[in-house]
Chains A and B, each alone.
Chain A
Amino acid sequence: MTRLAGRTALVTGAASGIGRAIACRFAAEGALVVVADLDDGENSARDGGAPTARAIAEAGGRAIFQRTDVTEESEVEALFAAARQASGRIDILVSNAGTFRGNPILATTPANWDADMDLNLRSHYLVNRAAIAAMAGEEARADGIRGRIVNMASQLGVTAPPGHLTYSVAKAGIAQMTRQLAVDYAREGILVNAIGPGRIITGYHPGEAEYVASGTIDAATAYSLARTPFPRLGRPDDVAGAALFLASDDCTFVSGHLLMVDGGWTAY
């Protein structure tokens, strides 16, 4: 399992959930992983950027943790400086940090619109801009590729989640930014793709097995389970498998694509 041997991958939002699964999978495939997150996990044994890096090291992988608020330009700059110092080259970016939040339009204010966009759209712009600046200056690898970027969009940027205006607009924006950057940097050998996860059980959710066993499945999750053609909900590892494909040497001719990892929700 050395599909990312010799590569450096920067993963934002890697303290928990999907980002953490991606960081661990990439490290298991041989990458040096730069774990970026606002949550340093000083007070947690499980979640947090530092615990993710520790878990990787304990499994025999290589990772560094850089505490980063991806909404702050200066912190994003510091993140890339730290990554360059650790490895000399950034081959892969997974721009994943974000939080599910939004309101119906009449419950929004211009101030919370800005705050939501800062977190769920502008932060991806900041991180992508820094990554492209770094990648474009590198020598192309033997296959002509300088770098691969994977942006975390969402099924909820394709469908419209009732009452979550800013989230769906931001996620749709990430997908379109992905297409634009794919076109603008294809010639430089930078492949830019997005993933649209469906309902993935992360963070504050227990695993779906626990839900089913305890019989305490909440209404929203029960609906998601019933609505998803595949007989289970998604797991962070499902998204990590897709991210690995898009970040690996096997991704040679895919760019600007929104890969849905949703158990068939949007197909249905």
Chain B
Amino acid sequence: MFALTDKIAVITGAASGIGAATARRFAHAGAHVVLAAYSPDGHDVDRVRADVAAAGRQAMVVETDVGQTPSVDALAAAALARFGRIDIALANAAIARRKPSLELDDRSWEQTLGIDLQGVWRLFRAVLPAMRDAGGGRLLATASTAGPFEAWEAHVHYSAAKAGIVGMVRSLAAEVGPLGITVNAIAPGIIETPQTLDSVNSLGAGGIAETGRTQPVRRIGKPEDIAAAYHFLASDDASFVTGHTLLVDGGRMLIRG
């Protein structure tokens, strides 16, 4: 079954980019969506909330800092208080901060790892008891090609976090598989989102346009490309897929172009 009728999904980083597109997609597939948003970033989560509601599904916005354990625990508690269960948890929130390695101090390292890697773990840990009690669930995380599959200069901390997600997903899949819980990641390639459009910390508009020309499919990705793949991984059609990192990169890792 592909529909997500009446499933409860929690998504971090839901106010923009891949998280927002996935929230919309899940709602259209029938899920109610808990939108975890970090307001200091200034994204308009109300538009995502409105789109989920327009699809006839319930949306709930929870202000969340995935860098803080109490904040993520409160997110899970709020979702459970409202809906009684969590079927799908997508740990998607992350930051990318350009930092040449000779300047990469503890503060920068801890900030990026704390959000991009430990933030994933905080969400998984917070929802695992409810999934265990329910006899199953779907844990999903947004990794990256940068780290597990390719280099990204001046992003050693980000790369380490994203490679860490791939390892976490494998080991957790083995451990919680017997509980009927699957754990998977998507490694997106170059996707046009606020993160990649940031010309200080990432490629910027010009950079992604240029990258698009060299990719096998001759375009860069859209958040909707990733959302469609998350829909598959969240659905019953992916029941026997676990511990896997699905590359959604338009074939870019095949040529490393």
- The chain A residues found within 8 Å of chain B, CB to CB, are 1, 3, 179, 182-183, 186-187, 198, 228-231, 234-235, 238-239, 241-242, 244-245, 250-257, 259-264, 266-268
Contacts and interface: CB of A to CB of B under 8 A. Distances in A.
A1 B237 CA distance: 13
22 contacts: A179-B254, A186-B250, A229-B173, A229-B243, A230-B177, A241-B232, A241-B235, A242-B232, A242-B237, A242-B238, A244-B2, A245-B232, A253-B222, A253-B249, A253-B250, A254-B249, A260-B243, A262-B240, A264-B173, A267-B173, A267-B174, A268-B173
Contacts of A264: 173-174, 177, 182, 242-244
Contacts of B178: 229-231
B255 A183 contact: yes
A59 B179 CA distance: 34
Interface in B107-129: none
B17 interface: no
Q: Which of A182, A183, A230, A256 has the most CB of B within 10 A?
A: A230
B177 A244 contact: no
B188 to A, nearest CB: 8
B55 interface: no
Nearest to A265: B243
Given A241-B237, A253-B221, A262-B240, A230 B246 contact: no
Contact of A3 (B2, B169, B179, B182): B2
A244 B247 CA distance: 17
Given A183-B254, A250-B228, A263-B240, A255 B216 contact: yes
B95 interface: no
B229 interface: yes
A94 to B, nearest CB: 15
Nearest to B254: A256
A116 to B, nearest CB: 27
A183 B216 contact: yes
Nearest to A244: B237
A234 to B, nearest CB: 5
A176 to B, nearest CB: 10
B251 A255 contact: yes
Contacts, number: 130
A230 B250 contact: no
A267 B165 CA distance: 13
Given A182-B251, A263-B177, A230 B237 contact: no
A35 B231 CA distance: 28
Nearest to B224: A252
B97 interface: no
A256 B250 CA distance: 8
B74 interface: no
Q: Which of B178, B217, B231, B241 has the most CB of A within 10 A?
A: B241
B68 to A, nearest CB: 29
Nearest to B175: A229
Contact of A230 (B215, B216, B242): B242
A268 B243 contact: yes
A268 B255 contact: no
Nearest to A200: B240
Contacts of B217: 186-187, 253, 255
Nearest to B226: A253
A186 B216 contact: yes
Contacts of A256: 216, 247, 251, 253-254
A255 B253 CA distance: 10
Contacts of B253: 256
A186 B242 CA distance: 27
A260 B247 CA distance: 12
A259 B236 contact: no
Contacts of B236: 241
A183 B257 CA distance: 11
Contacts of A241: 2, 232, 235-239
